[in-house]
Amino acid sequence: MRRRRPEHVPSRPTWRCRNCGARWPCGAAKLRLLRQYRGDRVALLVHLATLYAQADAQLGDTSSAVGLFDRFVSWARVRGQEAVRVPSREPDRDGAGA
């Protein structure tokens, strides 16, 4: 009997792929997600944004918010659309924050 290799899913709190050890989502995970959410890009982006928020909370200051956003969300946007801007973590000029 063949032993199944683990899926390309994140290992938390490091957010590395359990299968290949690359930063998640790795290439294989991206392909799987695109297949899984084929025809519903909005649902894919909502799912990725949720994971981005969880990773941001777990990774803390080890990664910039923009870098994590690019890693988790911006790769999945529809081609030809403008990239979404990530809110800054710095407070606004009036001190209210982003």
pLDDT tens-place string over residues 32-89? 999 999 999 999 999 999 999 999 999 887 667 778 999 999 999 876 555 555 555 5
- Mean pLDDT of all residues in 5-26: 93
In a domain, 4, yes or no: no
36 CB contacts (<8 Å, ≥6 apart)? 44
68 vs 2, residue with greater confidence: 68
In a domain, 60, yes or no: yes
Q: What are phi and psi of 59, to 5 degrees?
A: -85, -20
Domain enclosing residue 33, as ranges: 10-76
Q: Indicate whether 10 pLDDT > 50.
A: yes
Residue 96 lies in a domain: no
Is residue 82 assigned to a domain? no
Domain assignment present for residue 66? The answer is yes
Give me the helix-helix angle, 27-36 and 41-59, nearest 10°: 140
What is the pTM assigned to this prediction?
A: 0.72
Q: Is residue 50 part of a domain?
A: yes
Phi, psi of 61 (to 5 degrees): -85, 5
| Domains identified in the chain, total number | 1
